[in-house]
Copies of this chain bind each other. A is one copy, B any other.
C-alpha cells in the first residue's frame, strides 16, 4: 500500500519547499519534486496546500479515572478526534495509585489503549516510592519503551509527590536516561487556599483559580527545576500556564540548564474571565489545573513560545461532561479537573500563531510536533518529513476557515473551550502510518489501528550531561588529619 501526496508545499521545522511526498509501508519513502513512484499508489492532491508532519500531542488523558469519575473520552474516540484535527500521535499518562506497582498500572493502561486509532505512547507517573518503584522504572525504560516519568507536585493527600519522591525518582531517571516531567503546583498551598477560599464563602467555579494562583505554580516549577539542576537531570514542565513558571524555566535555561516547557493551546487563548461566567455549567466546564489565567499571562506564554523557552504545545485533553462537572455543585474543589482540546490544538495554534505573525510555519511545526519528538527521542521517526520517517502527515489548508463548536467537533464531550472561535487554517487531509484517515471532513479509521510507540532512552542530551558532570566533578582534599595529641 502506497500513497503519493502531490502538489503541496512541504513545511518542516527547518525548511519550506515545493515537494511531493511518497509513502510506502507506513513510512515516508521519498520527498522531492516530480517523484518517480510506482504505479498504483493512492494519490492525494494537496492542491497547493501545506504538507506538514502530523501533530504530536504530548499531554492527553484518555479514559482517565480521576476525582471519582472517568473521562468521557476513551482512547478510540480521543485519537480519532486527534486525527480529525491533524494530530497523529499522542503521549498519554499511566497514573498508578500510591502503592500500586508501576508495571501493573502500565499494563492496565496498555490494555485500555489497545483500541486507539492513532499512534500513542505513555509517560508513567511516579506517585510514591520504594524499591519496587525503582525497579519498575528500570523495566519500563529498558523493556517497555517508556522514556519519561511524571510527577504531580499538587493533589495533596492523593498522588502528590513530596520532595523526597522527586529527588529519588529524578536520580533514577538520570541513571536510566529518561526524562522527568512535573505537574508544577505547590500542593500544600493549593490545599490551604482551598480551605481559605471556601471559608470566605466561595462555592462556585470562580473559587477554583483563586485556590491555584500563578505563584503556586511558579514556586513548584522553580523547585522542580532546582532539584533537577542539583542532580544534573534534564526536566520537562508540563502545562506551563503563567509567567511565574515561565520565568523559572527561562532563568534556568539562561544558565545553560536543560529545562523544557510545554504550553497548552487553551492557556494561550482562553483567559480566566470564564470562571466568572454567570452560568455554572459553563464556568465549571473550564475547571482544569492549572486554571486559565489573565491576559497578561497569555501574552507571556506566547513570548515563551517565540523565544524558545517553551518548546512544545499540548492540550492536557481530559474530558468531563456537564453531568460529571456537577459533582462539584456547591464545592468547587469537587469539580473534576479537565478540559478537551486534542482536536483543535493545531488550528488554534495556526490561527493565533502563524496568521497573527507570532510564528512562521516552520516554527509552527517545531511547536506542534518536531520539538516534542526530539525531547521525547522519537525524532525523526515522528515530527519530520524525511525518508524513513513514519508517514504521519497533515495536508494543511491555510485558507480554510471554520468555527469551532461542540456541535461539530469529534471529541466525546458536550463542551468546547474554544466554542465560537473562527479559525483560518485547518487539516484538509490527515495521513497516519501512510493511510488517509481524515479527508473531506470524514474519518476513515478502524479500531485498534494505532500503534504503541516505544521511545528509546538516552537521547543525545544525556551524553552531554554526563560529560559535563565528569568535567566539573570535584576531588577530595588529601589531608593529614589532626590527632588528639595536637
Q: Are A255 and B479 in contact (CB under 8 A)?
A: no
For chain A, give the interface size range: 35 or more
A443: Cβ under 8 A from any B Cβ = no
Main secondary structure of the interface of A (DSSP, over half): helix
Tell whether A105 is near chain B: CB-to-CB under 8 Å.
no
Whether A358 contacts B230 by the Cβ 8 Å rule is: no
A324 at the binding interface (Cβ < 8 Å):
no
Interface flag for A140 (CB, 8 Å): no
Query: Does A97 lie at the interface of the complex (its beta carbon under 8 Å from any beta carbon of B)?
Result: no
Which residues of B have CB within 8 Å of A253? 307-308
Interface residues of A in 178-216 (CB under 8 A from B): 186, 188-189, 192-193, 200-204, 206-207, 210, 213, 215-216
Instruction: Please encode chain A, from 469 to 483, with 1 for each CB lying within 8 Å of some chain B CB and 0 for all others.
Output: 111001011011110
Interface 9-mer from A12-20, A49-57, A261-269, A312-320? A12-20
Pick from B13, B308, B476: contact of A207, CB under 8 Å: B476
Contact of A474 among B15, B206, B226 (CB under 8 A): B206
Question: Does chain B have a CB within 8 A of A60?
Answer: no
Given A206-B476, A226-B216, A308-B308, A358-B256 contact (CB < 8 Å):
yes
Contact B207 A188 (CB under 8 A): no
Known contacts A230-B215, A476-B206: A460-B276 contact under CB 8 Å = no
Known: A164-B188, A189-B230. A283 touches B482 (CB 8 A): no
Residues 274-316 of A, flagged 1 when their CB comes within 8 A of B and 0 if not, give 0010111101000000000000100000110011110000000
Which single member of B204, B230, B468 contacts A477 (CB below 8 Å)? B204
5 further A-B contacts with Cβ under 8 Å, apart from A14-B379, A361-B460, are A200-B476, A254-B307, A355-B467, A356-B468, A356-B471
- Which 6 residue pairs spanning A and B have beta carbons closest together? A357-B468, A357-B467, A219-B226, A256-B306, A163-B188, A360-B460
Listed in ascending order, the chain A residues whose CB lies under 8 Å from chain B are 13-16, 32, 162-164, 167, 171, 186, 188-189, 192-193, 200-204, 206-207, 210, 213, 215-216, 218-219, 222-223, 226-227, 229-230, 247, 250-251, 253-256, 276, 278-281, 283, 296, 302-303, 306-309, 322, 326, 329-330, 354-363, 370, 374, 379-380, 384, 386-388, 460-461, 463-471, 474, 476-477, 479-482, 486
